[in-house]
Structure 1
């Protein structure tokens, strides 16, 4: 979450030691912002978010609040057929997820509850609130902790079976493998703060939709030295059945820098080597 002040070009970034936040802070400093951040990672809980919003109300100088949620709050729902085009009006099914309690069910549930609580609070207190919902976020960032989805996205190259199971879980839950580069996420956060006239509301931030099978074929051709196995995916999707288009954000004038597998993995392979996920 980032809040921008009117006069002093000040930004507050919560979770300052996190993956996305580490790059956002770097970008803000390069643009001349004064950046205030926590020294601890605030848990993505409803109460923590509301505490930040209460502080914004108390300060009385906050121009806009940007809440970073996830497309997990959009796409985690029963999916049938291949006509499940999702948009900002789509919500993950909390009752369904809470009843099934399989996989990472608590994560999308927490994001839905967080978003709705924040939206209600902002409306009641007259706060300008934009919620960005990035998809699976990848790419190089200043943060060097390996606790993101980066290892899962690199699992086809690394051969890590546990991380490959995570990737398969993402595809099953989302109806695709939706990817967005962390740089594009941070640029979108800056965009909705700095561009005049961007309305409050919810915005999907997704660079492209792919599948494990499609990605494996691409990687096998692009990086033959990794001996990518393309014969593991009989039960996977041949094509995305639930695309997550960023039409609303693009219509405001935002442009993605990374929207092909080549652009994303050119950056990811070097980052994977830096993190020790891939051999040098």
Structure 2
């Protein structure tokens, strides 16, 4: 997670977060210790590898979606996609979201393990689109859901590139396949029904209007 204050046009594998700024970079105004911890852990892992002669490779995935293995708890990134489909009272930032299929992420990790030329850091995500375009795409594929209409435009839309990973041989699925398989899983698991009568909520970390 890079600082939005720097506003680069493109994030590459060589792009790093600015640790001093990370705690302040949430739409809710909460301290973002989660992203700071991930950045520092990655730095420590790479440094440890250098000092001890280990071949360390790290991955920076986008928002991980796709069919789930577990049937009891839904992970946070899948809750974001569920909220986009079902809608609710919370507001999303209309920024570019680097999505990645969980199966493609697993393939990427296996690929890096098998390829002796793999090295350093890899961004792992599909081509991005903003939330409005994602909603439009999903409406064309699955027109019978409510979808969120609470979005606020931002002025720091940036891209990520997975070219380094693709040059290693990574071939991700099309976004449409990932979305179709995700919705199919949600339907079979009953996650698109409001059985308890409560509105769907966006995970707190992603809310723009998180006063509650």
**TM-score calculated relative to the size of structure 2:** 0.80
Note the C-alpha offset of 1:237.
5.2
The answer as to 2:96 corresponding to 1:176 is yes
CA distance 1:105–1:89, shift in 2 (3 Å) = same
Query: What residue number does 2:133 align with?
Result: 214
**1:233-261, Cα deviation, whole Å (9 max, x unpaired):** 3x3259x821111000111111112x32x
CA distance 1:79–1:270, shift in 2 (3 Å) = farther
Which has the larger helix fraction? Answer: 1
- Which range moved further: 130-139 or 212-221? 212-221
Query: What residue number does 1:94 align with?
Result: 19
Q: CA–CA distance in 2 between the matches of 1:229 and 1:181?
A: 21
**TM-score calculated relative to the size of structure 1:** 0.62
Q: Are 2:64 and 2:100, in contact at CA under 8 Å, matched by a contact in 1? A: yes
Q: How many residues in Structure 1 have an aligned counterpart in Structure 2?
A: 191
CA distance 1:99–1:161, shift in 2 (3 Å) = closer
Instruction: Provide the alpha-carbon RMSD of the alignment.
Output: 2.4
**Bigger relative contact order, structure 1 or 2 (CA pairs below 8 A, ≥6 apart):** 2
CA distance 1:271–1:201, shift in 2 (3 Å) = same
**DSSP 3-state at the match of 2:50:** helix
Which of these residues, 215, 224, 227, is aligned with residue 143 of structure 2?
224
Q: Are 1:76 and 1:108, in contact at CA under 8 Å, matched by a contact in 2? A: no
CA distance 1:99–1:225, shift in 2 (3 Å) = closer
Query: What residue number does 2:186 align with?
Result: 272
Query: What residue number does 1:159 align with?
Result: 87
**DSSP 3-state at the match of 2:14:** coil
Query: What residue number does 1:201 align with?
Result: 120
Q: Are 2:3 and 2:21, in contact at CA under 8 Å, matched by a contact in 1? A: no
**DSSP 3-state at the match of 1:89:** coil
**DSSP 3-state at the match of 1:123:** helix
Note the C-alpha offset of 1:99.
5.0
Q: Are 1:77 and 1:97, in contact at CA under 8 Å, matched by a contact in 2? A: no
Note the C-alpha offset of 1:134.
0.8
Q: CA–CA distance in 2 between the matches of 1:273 and 1:279?
A: 8
Alignment of 1:89-168 (within 5 A): 89-98=14-23, 102-103=29-30, 105-144=32-71, 145-162=73-90, 165=91, 168=92
**DSSP 3-state at the match of 1:224:** coil
Q: CA–CA distance in 2 between the matches of 1:200 and 1:228?
A: 40
CA distance 1:125–1:229, shift in 2 (3 Å) = closer
- Uncovered stretches (5+) of structure 1, i.e. residues with no partner: 1-71
- Uncovered stretches (5+) of structure 2, i.e. residues with no partner: 195-212
Note the C-alpha offset of 1:79.
4.8
